[in-house]
Structure 1
Amino acid sequence: MDLYLKRFIKIRKERLSNEIQLRFLQRLSRLLSNGYPLIEALDVIKWDKQLTTSATLITNALKNGSSIDQAFDKAAFHPTITAYLYFVRANGDIQGSIDKCLDMYEQRMKYTKKFQQIIRYPLILIFIFSLLLYFIKQYVLPSFEELFQTSTESSSMIAISIVLIDLLSSTVIVLSILLIVGIVIWRFARHKLTISKQINLYRALPIYRKFLKLQTSFLFATHFSTLLKTGMSFKEILIHMSEQNKLPIIAHYSTLITEELMRGLPIIPLLSEMSFLENQLSSIFQKNADVNALEKDLNVYAEFVTEEIQRKIMKIITFIQPLFFIVLASFIIFIYVTLMWPMFQLIQSI
């Protein structure tokens, strides 16, 4: 356990920042589009001091016989990037894969920054409110309790308020601890679970499973259409997709479908049985007998799914801030009532 934790911490420290990875992809994409060979493009990227180390690691790995995805992995690039680059082994389209990585990573960073901007202000307010709540519970309410001892209703109201604040604080603390413990356990236990058990676990997460289904369908359609351009058969494509380890669900589904194809079963009903693949995928395969038409439809479908994912992400992000404010406003009203109600009861008793 200690060795695994040390290795995990080391990997996290070595991981490149998102900004550095994005800038590296932008430079590499621009140089490749201008006709530079890959190694020469990496040499030019070394002109930027912040990118020198990454470019050197990738260059050395390539010269030592590593594939491009392995080289980027050694340079500590994000797994979503190396997953895209894995398929360069089959299609040989370095520039196209780099361009797709760039588009994908730009979108990823865009929504991450949007989420951070939206969540920052509510979190600051919640922190300030928590300090205020602690101060009221520790100093204000006990003083009120002593002040209104002659009023039974006011005293009971203050006691109830203290109990509710204690309950609220305990609930938040327990949920935070459970969340942290759950994340730590998942970090260690995920690699010990079979992919089938992981998929069953993902099914139990209502919101996440919808996004995972869209993402898995997008990746399956994108990579399948890319490999169709090489002239590979369905079976060869699925074998190639099953051999990568950056997209475990895709690899698992590809393995299952390959095994069933070897038994003589058609691919269309097999796709519909996969819980994290959209039914539209099997419809596309059923519609198209021509490889070129299938490739085109899969590309269009991937674009539609991308738009749907972006729409859902923006919907959730824009929903988060009002939800925070509503919850915070409810707590403020609760504190206001807690402080003012005893005074109101006292005034009525005079």
Structure 2
Amino acid sequence: MPNEVQLRFLRMLSRLLANGYPLIEALEIMKWDNQLAKIATEIMTSLKSGYKIDKAFEQSKFHPTITTYLFFVRVNGDLQTSINKCIEMYAHRVKYMKKFEQMIRYPLILLLIFSTLLYFIKNSVLPSFVDLFQESSAASSTVILSMMIIDYLGIFVMACCFMVFACALFWQFNKRKIKIDKQIKFYNALPIYRKFLKLQTSFLFATHISTLLKTGMSIKEILHHLAKQEKLPIIAHYSNLMIEELSKGYPISSLLSQFSFLDKQIATIFQKNANMDALEKDLTIYAEMLTEELQRKIIKAITLIQPLFFIILASFIIFIYVTLMWPMFQLINSI
């Protein structure tokens, strides 16, 4: 389902719920909209068949970010707040995806043009240069070297693309078969990705704990619910470990500081607050701070992509210029 349609569906549903409509009636009204009618019908059918709200949205192919938030409606019963949170998070996702697409579109077009130009030079221009510069061995060897570099560069790029595609495909189909502790070790080996994953996991952990604390549940009950959900396997794994620690009578703050994908500040917040209201308040504020940090890092990463592409393109231009002009200079020097 297109991102814009998912976001529009959530916004309309939130508006109807805010106006006092029960969920089923709200979905009935949404069927008046031709674009959203099919989705509303599918969700209604799933709900009437006994599916929970998150599973109903999952059946209609909503993004995992949305269905993860809706899972906790089973616990807190606050559908409207959960949907509003989904809208906020998903709107940020759509915004940054659009920004990324806009920034990468122009460099990709230029990269495609220069790759085609390089292919044309290698197959048409350089072979003509070899014939032209037969009398100058230095110029001829430079042209042959340029052809070899283009060949090796093409093979290297294709091999890298194939490896990335193969690894992504393998990971997609086999991720669930790999134990979560091994997945965590693998994520830890990815330098840039692990920083974003740590921020994201810390944010989701703080958000869900603070949301469920508002219902008056104990930490142990909250951890049991976090361990049951399947959309956030790292948080589920950490929750199981914390449940074991609590059952032994140990405080979880010491264990929290050992988790590689939870920020150390979370352990400090848990250690500092014995009162549940204060803990909920601190975690909410901390989650908001992490949201800002995530947004700042995403924008920084996106803005770095365009200069990187332009550096690659500049390298192509310089290489093409040297490939064409250097043999001529060598020929002139030999005369």
TM-score by length of 1: 0.94
* Displacement after TM superposition at 1:347 (Å): 1.9
**Aligned equivalent of 1:317, options 285, 302, 305:** 302
User: Aligned with 2:224: secondary structure?
Assistant: helix
Structure 1 residue 236, shift from structure 2 partner: 0.4
Aligned to 1:289: 274
Q: CA deviation at 1:64?
A: 2.8
Amino acid at match of 2:97: T
SS in 2 for 1:273: coil
Q: Deviations over 1:159-194 (max 9, x none)?
A: 111111111111101101111111111111111101
Query: Within 5 Å, which residues of 2 pair with 1:11-160?
Result: 16-160=1-145
Comparing 111-120 and 49-58, the one that deviates more: 49-58
Any gaps of 5 or more consecutive residues in structure 2? none
Cα deviation for residue 317 of structure 1 reads 0.3
Amino acid at match of 2:225: H
Query: 1:175 is matched with which residue?
Result: 160
Q: Report the identity percentage.
A: 64
State the shift of 1:223 in Å. 0.4
**Partner SS, residue 171 of structure 2:** helix
Q: Secondary structure at the match of 1:245?
A: coil
| Shift of residue 30, structure 1, vs aligned partner | 1.2
- Residue 145 of structure 1 and its aligned partner are, at CA, apart by 0.7
Partners of 2:315 and 2:300 lie apart in 1 by 23
CA RMSD of aligned residues (A): 0.9
Distance (Å, rounded) in 2 between the aligned partners of 1:193 and 1:53: 36
SS in 1 for 2:257: helix
- How far apart, CA to CA, are the structure 2 residues paired with 1:31 and 1:196? 43
Equivalent residue letter for 2:205: F
Q: Trace 1:250-269 onto structure 2 (pairs within 5 A).
A: 250-269=235-254
Q: Give 2:234's aligned amino acid.
A: I
Q: What displacement does 1:18 show?
A: 1.1
Partner of 1:10: none
- Of the three residues 163, 166, 170, the one matched with 1:185 is 170
What is the distance in 1 between the residues matched to 2:274 and 2:4?
A: 43
